[in-house]
Amino acid sequence: MGQKTHLALLFIALLATIAVAAEDSSSSSSSEESKETRAIRQLLSFTMEHISRITEYIAAEGKNIFEKVVQELSPLKEGNEELRIKLLNFTEFIEDAGKLKPRKEGQPFQLESLMLSATFSEIMDAYNTTDTAVKPTIETALIWATITKNGLDALENGVETRFADYLSEFDKKFKEFDSSLTPTERQEYGKIFVWYNSVKNASTIDDKLNKFVDYLNQKF
Ligand SMILES: *[C@@H]1O[C@H](CO)[C@@H](O)[C@H](O)[C@H]1NC(C)=O
Ligand SMILES: *[C@@H]1O[C@H](CO)[C@@H](O)[C@H](O)[C@H]1NC(C)=O
Ligand SMILES: *[C@@H]1O[C@H](CO)[C@@H](O)[C@H](O)[C@H]1NC(C)=O
């Protein structure tokens, strides 16, 4: 997931936090709330729960991969200043990921796991030598080879699977919302269907999350 996507996640996290807080304080007036507002609130907190699980997964699996990188390459860092400095990116991540505590019951998200997931992407961007125009240094190439052979594919598949599970549940929840509407309401809330379709039609995780945020951006 790219940097823009991580900003999108942060935005969803903020909105979800606000939505959940509003829900807690306004249970008495909830009958006045439109079905659309209620549905958005529920979709937001449900989405946040899944995003949190995904970022926690990236933090934990990223830590495992990076530990192997440090373990395998540390013996080579004596007398190689570039490698020594580059490995600090990995030890720092491992240290931060090691401090991650489980979320408390009902806590929608944790900034730390979101940040770790963003850092993971930055590290991927910095060391990914696939298709780079400039020839990578030996150290960068070595690090990338070590990352890829230690489970990067599995991590990516794990993220895809979790995201696909989320989308299919999102679909179910949206259909429940749809079937709760009267024809008039369905027309009135036309925009939410355009949004739903644009999220559905987007082909990558990044596209989907950015489309998800587009609508919320207009709403709030
Ligand atoms: C890697 O470490 C260098 C030097 O400490 C730092 O400037 C850079 O921002 C780090 N990169 C990432 C992606 O963490
Ligand atoms: C590495 O770069 C390639 C080419 O740009 C890209 O397709 C791939 O998704 C990147 N991998 C990761 C883990 O970022
Ligand atoms: C998404 O795709 C469906 C079917 O392929 C189409 O009917 C719909 O107009 C598309 N929506 C958007 C927002 O592109």
Protein residue with least CA distance to atom 9, ligand 1: 89
Query: Ligand 3 centroid vs 2 CA: distance in angstroms?
Result: 25
Integer Cα distance of 139 and 127 in angstroms: 10
- pLDDT averaged over consecutive 10-residue blocks of the chain (220 residues)? 77 76 60 76 85 94 98 95 97 97 85 93 93 90 97 94 90 91 90 86 86 74
Query: Ligand 1 centroid vs 18 CA: distance in angstroms?
Result: 33
Atom of ligand 3 nearest to the CA of 200: 1
Residue 71 has a pLDDT of: 98
Atom of ligand 2 nearest to the CA of 121: 14
Query: Is 178 within 8 Å of 192 (Cβ atoms)?
Result: no
Residue 10 has a pLDDT of: 79
User: Which one of the ligands is nearest to 199 CA?
Assistant: 3
Query: Ligand 1 centroid vs 168 CA: distance in angstroms?
Result: 37
Residue 95 has a pLDDT of: 98
